[in-house]
Structure 1
């Protein structure tokens, strides 16, 4: 995985060739009017659709703040999700943050292979991706995580 040549030769990238961002605000480290998300960034998290979904809402909030002359807020905790298919009908839904600490949406141990996780991976997540996320209406599962954990989901440890 790497950035396209147009980025690799620009002043926006770090020595590894990725757009150099603050990992919590998604704002460029040198150019305050530039933000980024996704596969071409220096964010030290898995390059997944789940990560991008969570980054979208944070990017929107911080970009809007800069456009209004306000300061950015360090909000991104590195959330990502990697569904690991373990059999023809079971899956482990691994969700974690920058520190690789579990950041599970469901109020169950998601480290155990389950048919429920496979059903989510096979049927629910593609629907969310194609019909909700790509239309800009999905900013990751953080709201659902709070509801399903009765508001007791651990707070991310973010330092500016």
Structure 2
């Protein structure tokens, strides 16, 4: 049984020990018996590999960000910018500002700084027909992050508050 952590490996070891069932590995040319020592070692190796992969991923994201590239998806107000190296290979992680969306973002911050609530800002945007970043409609939760309005998020339970 592959495990992802030493703790998970320990639980599996306890189950195997208490059930008094022997485990065999079909690919092992030797006896093929998987001992408690094997389970512990495999769990430790898996945990170390998971940690190393996590570190490499985080380091790659930090390097990309330091080079001025976006390591994640596009935020509202930005879109992908496609450019190529001299050899024809695409340069990844470049973005450019979408002026119309950027104006909406600036307006949201100005309205909030002026004392308007997130719900009021969202209602005004809805009235004017400004769509939310990920759908064709905006919801109260798009700007308020209030758990009581989570049902209004498309794809979650409930229905969106627009047509």
**TM bucket, shorter chain:** under 0.3
Normalised to the residue count of structure 2, the TM-score between the two structures is: 0.27
TM-score (norm 1): 0.27
More helix by share: 2
